[in-house]
Structure 1
Amino acid sequence: ELITAAYELGVAHPPGYPLFTLLARLAIGIFPFGSVAYRVNLLCGLLGAAAASLLFYTVFRLSGSYAGGILAAGVFAFSRLTWHWSTAAEVFSLNNLFVGLLMALTVHFEEATTMKERSKISQVGAFCCGMSLCNQHTIVLYVSCIVLWVLFRLFREQELSPGRLVKLGACFLAGFLPYLYLPASSCLNQARWTWGDQRSFQGFMTHLLREEYGTFNLAKSETGSNMTEMLLFQVAHMKTQLSLPVQVLAIVACLSAMMRDKMEKPALVWLFTGMLCSYSCFFAWRANLDITKPLFMGVVERFWMQSNAVVAVLAGLGLAAVLSETGNGCVLPCLEWLSAVALVTSQIYSNYR
């Protein structure tokens, strides 16, 4: 469906995914080889690789550890779920890219030392936050946490003026410009296959808010697993996808953040942890599908990649934190690299043997 929408410049299923559609259409025109489907799949693979690279960047900038960055990027990229949805024409690899990008920009903002730097990064970040919502709406929980944190930081630095708020709001709204594609496509009416009619404001909002599916649900008129069951399934699923040691290292990162002398910029660890918890709880509350059924489990598990990306980053930070106390000289780098390579190799072996 997404390939057809991109090829014919039609509208995909709600909420329309205009950014992915336009990027896929660009890939179809630019890549000089392979079928149309192959080109879109290749685009998704490149987006997935970029997402993993941004996880590496985030961990490295926070901890200075190359090994921690490799661990975060490796365990996430080579998890069965991430690999599968990064080699198929779907919107999840682009969402993973935005998750990594927003975390990387957050680190960059935290490192800024002047008002001019913070102003520039916050405006770029606001634009990226808006654009991320042109793809998968579940990222709104991460966007909300980051926006509140940035506004608080600007307020604390006495840099949050009405003019600054207007600029940030304008940048955020500018990120939504790809949604103009939906009414444009409907008005041109050239696609043989398209979803809905967005020529009217009501039709546009119906599609944007996913009213056919249920705005805050995965499906309409479905009764699924309860919140507790969903969260327990997610934790067990995360263990399968990322491994128990990675989960433990993520917890170590949180514990290290409690001791400010053990980790640089502990506030970001708590921000990422808050993003993870708020998203996981909200999604478990609203994902109204019975995950004891394999079909529905396959639908739900795709949205857990957004949580896995944050856990992978926390694990990379945890590795850097725990080994910073265990050695010096050449011992520390060797232990870091040995641990990172062992965990990533184990990930590859477990999922692709």
Structure 2
Amino acid sequence: MATLPPALPGGDAGELITAAYELGVAHPPGYPLFTLLAKLVMGLLPVGSPAFRVNLLCSLLGAAAASLLFYTVFRLSGSYAGGILAAGVFSFSRLTWQWSITAEVFSLNNLFVGLLMTLTAHFEEASTARERSKISKFGAFCCGLSLCNQHTIVLYIACVVPWVLSQLFRKMELSLGHLLKLGLCFLAGLLPYLYLPASSYLSRARWTWGDQTTFQGFLTHFLREEYGTFNLGQPGDDLAQMKSELSLPVLALALVACVNTVLPTKQQKSPVIWLFAGMLCLYSLFFSWRANLDITKPLFLGVVERFWLQSNAVVAVLAGLGLATLASVGSTMLESSCVLPWLEWLSALTLVTSQIWANYR
């Protein structure tokens, strides 16, 4: 709360707050889910200015995202320390904190990233066809809903959806009827986009972006054609930025989680870890392919670096799983050792503390 801006922050926050306050349409792709959530919070919270209320909303969404990272690691490994590491190093990184206390769409996107990974872990651990069916339907809905915010998450969806469908097919649980239900759940998640033509048609906002009363106008806004649909930032050294934001030991632990999956004695859920690693690789490769901003310039770097949050969340989860892997392997080699749990916790707390010290001293 001490770092929360009491009024209007910089960047796109002013536009997003105005769009929510007047029920207008924000810049492409419109961010209807964020707009509606912000409007709801403005009406429900009795404290502070409208800007402060939306800032507070984003901070709460950021906290929820960190909780989901913790739960994902714990669900897959049973390690509390690994979960604390994942949530801590991600939450206290400079970028995460910076974009979780202002009225921006990135903390909500982080929440959906955490939710996708949590649901994936639940699906992997599901023991019955009924449970897998419920999780897959809810996951399909969440995939659609997440696209009502930040479109970059489609790169993670492009990995998760084929993986889930292949798992259902392998278990002979993917019927045509179930596939249709998944499609309907996905479309239901996209329903907030109806807000765009509705807002444009009513024309009550003093400020709004574009005209979505026609299908072509809606499609132009939805596909970000005014920006370039798939244009992002100039490729940089992804490892360098991850090292800067999360530290070298965290990257090493993430690598441990991946390497462990090819060893004879697997301690983790290998398919899920490879899925997370694939999500990370696809995201990084796509950024390198669709580059159009010169990040050597501070202004453009500030625009682009926000999108690194999505990959940092996956690295944090892999690091938590890597720490749990080392602790599990160590306990196998050193049976009945009471020192290893303490070392696991000490490692997690040391890395989180160093993250705080590096960014907030």
Q: How do residues 215-230 of structure 1 correspond to structure 2 at under 5 angstroms?
A: 215-218=229-232, 225=234, 230=235
Match among 331, 334, 343 for residue 342 of structure 2:
334
Give CA-to-partner distance per residue, 1:319-350, whole Å, 9 cap, x none: 01012222444212101110000000000000
Task: Confirm or deny that 1:33 pairs with 2:47.
Answer: yes
**Cα separation, partners in 2 of 1:121 and 1:260, compared to 1, 3 Å:** farther
Counterpart of 1:279?
283
Deviates more, 1:40-49 or 1:260-269: 260-269
User: What SS does the aligned partner of 1:34 have?
Assistant: coil
Counterpart of 1:4?
18
Counterpart of 2:354?
346
Counterpart of 1:47?
61
User: What SS does the aligned partner of 2:138 have?
Assistant: helix
Confirm or deny: 8 A CA contact 1:250 1:318 kept in the other structure.
Answer: yes
Paired amino acid for 1:153 = Q
Match among 65, 85, 94 for residue 80 of structure 1:
94
Give CA-to-partner distance per residue, 1:242-264, whole Å, 9 cap, x none: 00000000000001111252323
Measure, in 2, the Cα distance between the counterparts of 1:241 and 1:260.
32
Confirm or deny: 8 A CA contact 2:267 2:328 kept in the other structure.
Answer: no
The runs of 4+ residues in structure 1 deviating greater than 4 Å are none
Measure, in 1, the Cα distance between the counterparts of 2:209 and 2:19.
9
Match among 55, 59, 69 for residue 73 of structure 2:
59
Measure, in 1, the Cα distance between the counterparts of 2:236 and 2:165.
30
Counterpart of 2:154?
140
Structure 1: runs of 5 or more not aligned: 219-223
Give CA-to-partner distance per residue, 1:292-314, whole Å, 9 cap, x none: 11111111110010000000000
TM-score normalised by the chain length of structure 1? 0.96
Identity %: 75
TM-score normalised by the chain length of structure 2? 0.93
**Cα separation, partners in 2 of 1:161 and 1:298, compared to 1, 3 Å:** same
Paired amino acid for 1:335 = L
Counterpart of 2:192?
178
Measure, in 1, the Cα distance between the counterparts of 2:145 and 2:23.
19
User: What SS does the aligned partner of 2:130 have?
Assistant: helix
Match among 8, 15, 32 for residue 18 of structure 1:
32
Count the aligned residue pairs. Answer: 343
Structure 2: runs of 5 or more not aligned: 1-14
Confirm or deny: 8 A CA contact 2:267 2:329 kept in the other structure.
Answer: no
Paired amino acid for 2:75 = R
Counterpart of 1:320?
324
Counterpart of 1:238?
242
Confirm or deny: 8 A CA contact 1:231 1:281 kept in the other structure.
Answer: no
User: What SS does the aligned partner of 1:258 have?
Assistant: coil
